[in-house]
Amino acid sequence: MMKHLLLILCFLGLMSGCATEIDYPNLGNKVAGPRAVALSQTGNHFYAINSDSEFIYNEGSMLVLDAEGNKVKVVSIPRLASTVEVAGDRLMVTTQTTVGPESAPAKVGLFDVSDETDPKELDMVNIDCSPVAITFSSDYQYFPLSCENGDLYIGTFAADRNSFTLKRVRSYHYSRHAVYLNGANGMVYMFPTNGPTFRGADNQILTDKVSYDENDKLINTPNQFPDRFESTAGLRRDPQSGSVLLGVAYSIANESAEFQYKDLIEDPEVESELFPVYFDLDDKDGNKDAYTALANEDQNVYRTNFVRARPDPAGDKNTFYLAQAANIITSQIPYNNNILKVSISPASSEGSIAAGSSFLSFERVYGFKDDLPSQPTIFDFQITDVGGKQVALVNHFRVPVNNVSDASFTLSHKGLGDAAAAQNLSSRTASSSYISGAVNQNGVGLTGSFYNNSLLLFELSPGSAITIKQTIK
> What is the reported pLDDT for 7?
45
Provide the 3-class DSSP secondary structure of residue 337.
coil
Q: Which residues contact 296 (CB under 8 A, 6 or more apart)?
A: none
Q: What single-letter amino acid sits at 191?
A: F
Phi-psi region of 452 (alpha: psi -120 to 50; beta: other; left: phi over 0): alpha
Residue 448 and residue 457 in contact, taking contact as beta carbons nearer than 8 Å: no
Round to whole Å and give the CA distance between 115 and 292: 48
Q: Which residues contact 18 (CB under 8 A, 6 or more apart)?
A: 10, 101
Going 330 to 336 to 338 to 344, the CA torsion angle's sign is: negative
The answer to whether the predicted template modeling score (pTM) of the entire model surpasses 0.75 is: yes
Round to whole Å and give the CA distance between 247 and 361: 14
Q: Is 213 exposed, middle or buried (0-12, 13-18, 19+ CB in 10 A)?
A: exposed
> What is the reported pLDDT for 13?
39
Q: What single-letter amino acid sits at 63?
A: L
Structure letter (DSSP) for residue 354: -
Q: Which among 169, 209, 216, 162 is positioned nearest to 188, based on CA atoms?
A: 169
Residue 138 and residue 121 in contact, taking contact as beta carbons nearer than 8 Å: no
Q: What angle do CA 195, 199, 200 make, to 5 degrees?
A: 80
Phi-psi region of 437 (alpha: psi -120 to 50; beta: other; left: phi over 0): left
Q: What single-letter amino acid sits at 284?
A: K
Distances (CA, A) of 49 to 274, 313, 429, 435, 440: 33, 22, 21, 11, 18
Q: Which among 229, 253, 231 is positioned nearest to 240, based on CA atoms?
A: 229
Q: What single-letter amino acid sits at 280?
A: D
Residue 418 and residue 370 in contact, taking contact as beta carbons nearer than 8 Å: no
Structure letter (DSSP) for residue 327: -
> What is the reported pLDDT for 20?
45
Per-residue model confidence as pLDDT tens digits over 94-152: 999 887 667 889 999 999 999 999 999 999 999 999 999 999 999 999 999 999 999 99
Q: Is 315 exposed, middle or buried (0-12, 13-18, 19+ CB in 10 A)?
A: exposed
Structure letter (DSSP) for residue 7: H
Q: Which residues contact 8 (CB under 8 A, 6 or more apart)?
A: none
Q: What single-letter amino acid sits at 288?
A: K
Round to whole Å and give the CA distance between 378 and 395: 6
Q: What angle do CA 321, 323, 326 make, to 5 degrees?
A: 155
Q: Is 68 exposed, middle or buried (0-12, 13-18, 19+ CB in 10 A)?
A: exposed
Q: DSSP labels for 169-229?
A: EEE-SS---EEEEETTTTEEEEE----TT--S---EEEE---EE-TT--EESS--SS-GGG
Tens-binned pLDDT, residue by residue, of the chain (473 aa): 444 444 443 333 333 344 445 678 999 999 999 999 999 999 999 999 999 999 899 899 999 999 999 999 999 999 999 999 999 999 999 999 887 667 889 999 999 999 999 999 999 999 999 999 999 999 999 999 999 999 999 999 999 999 999 999 999 999 999 999 999 889 999 999 975 444 556 888 999 999 998 888 999 899 888 999 998 988 888 888 889 999 999 999 998 888 999 999 999 999 999 999 999 999 999 999 888 898 999 999 999 999 999 999 999 999 999 999 976 666 666 778 999 999 998 655 444 444 445 789 999 999 998 999 988 889 999 999 999 999 999 999 988 766 656 789 999 999 999 999 999 999 999 899 999 999 999 999 999 999 999 999 999 999 999 999 999 99
Round to whole Å and give the CA distance between 130 and 143: 17
Within a 13 Å sphere around the CA of 282, how many CA atoms are in the beta-carbon half?
9
Round to whole Å and give the CA distance between 130 and 132: 6
> What is the reported pLDDT for 437?
97
